[in-house]
Amino acid sequence: MQDINTEIYNAFEVIKNGGIILYPTDTVWGIGCDASNPEAVAKIYALKQREESKSMIVLMNAEKMMYNVFKDIPEVAWQILDLSEKPTTLILDNPRNVAANLIASDKTLGVRIVKEPFCFKLLERMKKPLVSTSANISGKPTPNTFKEISQEILKGVDYVVNLQNEKMTGKPSAIIKLTNDSQVKIIRK
């Protein structure tokens, strides 16, 4: 197994050159790229055979990055993040500074703050959000372990991060939609 710093370096090199990676998140194995690169985002949609109308989420590691993407963040968002006991994705209004093909038709974007070491350190190096979508073909079951990831996905990415995340939950995150006018809707518990 590789050293985490080597894997961060390798993943970063692929991402900065427009590539897509397969990597362990705090929840499930994810496919990711630079969230500001529309061509890389399009590669993920093509690999997953997913319609671009079905938006993907991004991972961030800090409040500063959140404010770079969302001008207005409802106060309740910070409260939810502080109180969440499990990984939680928030869907927020009017993102900016990300690829247009990542933004949903209702002008929202899902975001999750990660503390897990690999993702956190990769995001520190990138200084921009990382796309995160489950490592499966659209409509197929989400793989809970690395062994369950299809050959099509493994061969379709530019780099497979050689790390296992012991703290990975194996379950997708909770999803809560927050609007700037303070409406809260739980999408997935």
pLDDT exceeds 90 at position 29: yes
Q: What is the 3-state secondary structure (H, E, C) of the chain?
A: CCCHHHHHHHHHHHHHCCCCEEEECCCCEEEECECCCHHHHHHHHHHHCCCCCCCCEEEECCHHHHHHHECCCCHHHHHHHHHCCCCEEEEEECECCCCHHHCCCCCEEEEEECCCHHHHHHHHHHCCCEEEEECCCCCCCCCCCHHHCCHHHHHHCCEECCCCCCCCCCCCCEEEEECCCCCEEEEEC
Q: Please state the pTM of the whole predicted model.
A: 0.93
Q: What is the mean pLDDT of residues 98-122?
A: 95
pLDDT tens digits for range 30-52: 999 999 999 999 999 999 998 88
Residue 145's pLDDT is 86
pLDDT value at position 166?
Answer: 59
- Give the confidence band of 188 by pLDDT, cuts at 50, 70, 90: confident
Mean pLDDT of 85-107: 95
Q: What is the pLDDT of residue 120?
A: 95
- Taking 90 as the threshold, does the pLDDT of residue 102 lie above it? yes
* pLDDT tens per residue across span 71-86: 999 999 999 999 988 8
Q: What is the pLDDT of the chain when averaged over all its residues?
A: 92
How does pLDDT run across 148-172, given as a tens digit for each residue? 999 999 999 999 999 876 567 778 8
> Mean per-residue pLDDT for 104-130?
95
